[in-house]
């Protein structure tokens, strides 16, 4: 804004100390006056002060005079801007974080990459400009579609990041699918990034072209098997053999862009045709039911097997108990035979029978003693009862 001194009804006018004035006389003569100074202001004289600007420490810029001459100001102090088309053009001060970078187009036209970790404060003068990156990206953070030039920014953030990408692929048996990916990557070389106008555009195009070519070699049934592993381990993203990387097709291609791919994840794939999707959904339901039936059958068979094992164990236990009872009975029979033989010798047959019945605990019981038991006991075989059969003693 122009500053004019009030000289109405005054013969003299004083230019204040620390100011500078442009005096235009009635005759048209123009002179510059440094204050403090008193001047004669006749009728028709105009006095216009220069704009006074204080240049602070670390502030820089260009002072442009009335003739358009640029004078570089890089020290603190006071400058005066000529009201006759003079201008003060301060440098733009750009601050950046340690994980950021900017590119300044210098007066020579050469791009200059400046990393925030090396130079957090950058000055851009009037003859220079910050480079505006225009890269391929998504119109908003929710879409997987990519549009060239939609990402516009002047600060490049060098953090590890991720991107979502979806595109169509076609199998060799002509099934069209939509493949949805999440790509984790890092900016490994900022200098290489600025060597291309749109490194992300080349990045996405290479991935799409490589995977479209891959899927074109597979049938739909082949594509469905280990889809995530097949794509994630593709030669585009991982070198198969050390030293054999193809700079045009493998990870080295992305390195030439200044980008390192860390991981590629298949988030989802789906047929483009809704009819095919319904068929796949029905097939998946049938397969799930089959797997459920198989699991239930296996569970039932396992239960039957467990029951069979338990029954086998019970049968074995029964046999063991039977054998144990048989052995115990034989021992008891041998003991009673010995007692009976001794009693027959001592008290006679009838008394021996009565005593033996008391020994076994039941007068109504019938005790059968085989000849073998009596022989083992060392006694002769008593007279056999007709009811017992040949060679067997019956005590009643």
**pLDDT of the residue at 396:** 45
Q: Which domain holds residue 45?
A: 3-59+69-85
Q: Which of 8-12, 14-18, 97-101, 107-111 has the lowest mean pLDDT?
A: 8-12
In a domain, 257, yes or no: yes
Cβ-Cβ contacts under 8 Å for 167 (sequence gap 6 or more): 178, 179, 208, 211, 212
Same domain, 353 and 303: yes
Residue 390 lies in a domain: yes
Same domain, 266 and 366: no
Q: What distance in Å separates the CA atoms of residue 277 and residue 271, rounded to the nearest whole number?
A: 6
**Mean per-residue pLDDT over the chain, rounded:** 83
Q: Is residue 240 located within the same domain as residue 223?
A: yes
Q: Do residue 175 and residue 261 come from a single domain? A: yes
In a domain, 135, yes or no: no
Q: Are residues 227 and 293 in the same domain?
A: no
Pull the structure tokens for residue 287.
């397969």
334 with 228, same domain?
no
Q: How many residues does the chain have?
A: 396
Q: Is the pLDDT of residue 133 over 80?
A: yes
Report how far residue 34's alpha carbon sits from residue 186's, in angstroms, rounded to the nearest whole number.
59
Same domain membership, residue 320 and residue 304:
yes
pLDDT at 177: 93
111 within domain boundaries = yes
What is the model's pLDDT at position 100? 96
Is pLDDT of 78 > 70?
A: yes
Split at pLDDT 50, 70, 90, the class of 318 is: confident
- Is residue 145 included in any domain, yes or no? no
For residue 266, the domain's CATH number is 3.30.479.30
Question: Higher confidence at residue 281 or residue 310?
Answer: 310
Look at residue 169 and tell me if it is in a domain. yes
Q: Which of 146, 130, 140, 132 is nearest to 180 (CA)?
A: 146
> Has residue 147 been placed in a domain?
no
pLDDT of residue 223: 92
Residue 352 lies in a domain: yes
Final residue before a domain boundary, out of 238, 255, 272: 272
Q: Residue 77: pLDDT above 80?
A: yes
What pLDDT does residue 385 have? 42
Question: How many domains is the chain partitioned into structurally?
Answer: 4
Same domain? For 286 and 362 the reply is: yes
Residue 364 pLDDT more than 50? no
Residues 262-292 pLDDT 10s: 999 999 998 887 666 566 656 656 777 787 7
Number of Cα atoms under 13 Å in the Cβ half of residue 234: 25
Residue 381: partners with Cβ closer than 8 Å, 6 or more residues away: 371, 374, 375, 391, 393
Q: Are residues 44 and 125 in the same domain?
A: no
Same domain, 227 and 288: no
Mean pLDDT for the stretch of residues 90-105 = 95
288 shares its domain with 390: yes
Residue 99 binned pLDDT confidence (cut-offs 50, 70, 90): very high
User: What would the mean pLDDT of 144-169 be, rounded to a whole number?
Assistant: 93
pTM over 0.85: no
Q: How confident is the model at residue 394 (pLDDT cuts 50, 70, 90)?
A: very low
- Which of 85, 119, 139 terminates a domain? The answer is 85
Same domain assignment for residues 80 and 124 = no
């Amino acid at each position: 804004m122009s500053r004019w001194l009030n000289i109405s009804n005054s013969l003299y006018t004083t230019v204040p100390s620390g100011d500078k004035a442009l005096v235009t006389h009635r005759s048209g003569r123009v002179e510059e006056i440094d204050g403090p100074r008193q001047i004669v202001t006749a009728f028709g004289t105009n006095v216009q002060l220069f704009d006074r600007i204080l240049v602070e420490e670390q502030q820089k810029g260009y002072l442009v005079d009335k003739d358009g001459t640029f004078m570089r100001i890089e020290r603190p102090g006071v400058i005066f801007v000529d009201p006759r088309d003079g201008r003060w053009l301060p440098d733009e001060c750009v601050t950046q974080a340690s994980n950021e970078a900017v590119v300044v187009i210098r007066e020579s036209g050469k791009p200059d990459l400046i990393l925030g970790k090396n130079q957090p404060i950058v000055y851009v003068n009037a003859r220079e400009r910050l480079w505006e990156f225009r890269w391929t990206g998504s119109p908003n953070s929710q879409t997987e579609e990519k549009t060239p030039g939609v990402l516009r920014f002047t600060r490049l953030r060098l953090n590890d990041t991720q991107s979502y990408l979806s595109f169509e692929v076609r199998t060799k048996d002509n099934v069209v699918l939509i493949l949805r990916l999440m790509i984790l990557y890092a900016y490994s070389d900022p200098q290489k990034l600025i060597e291309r106008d749109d490194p992300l555009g080349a990045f996405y195009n290479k991935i799409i072209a490589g995977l479209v070519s891959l899927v074109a070699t597979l049938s739909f049934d082949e594509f469905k098997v280990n889809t995530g592993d097949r794509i994630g381990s593709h030669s585009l993203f991982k070198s198969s053999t050390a030293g054999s990387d193809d700079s045009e097709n493998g990870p080295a291609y992305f390195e030439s862009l200044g980008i390192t791919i860390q991981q590629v994840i298949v988030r989802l794939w789906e047929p483009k045709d809704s009819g095919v999707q319904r068929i796949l959904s029905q097939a998946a339901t049938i397969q799930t039911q089959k797997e459920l039936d198989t699991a239930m059958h296996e569970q039932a068979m396992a239960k039957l097997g467990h029951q069979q094992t338990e029954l086998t164990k019970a049968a074995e236990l029964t046999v063991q108990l039977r054998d144990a009872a048989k052995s115990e009975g034989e021992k008891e029979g041998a003991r009673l035979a010995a007692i009976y033989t001794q009693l027959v010798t001592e008290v006679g047959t009838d008394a021996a029978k009565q005593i033996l019945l008391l020994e076994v605990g039941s007068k109504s019981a019938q005790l059968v003693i085989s000849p073998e038991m009596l022989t083992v006991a060392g006694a002769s075989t008593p007279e056999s009862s007709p009811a017992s059969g040949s060679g067997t003693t019956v005590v009643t």
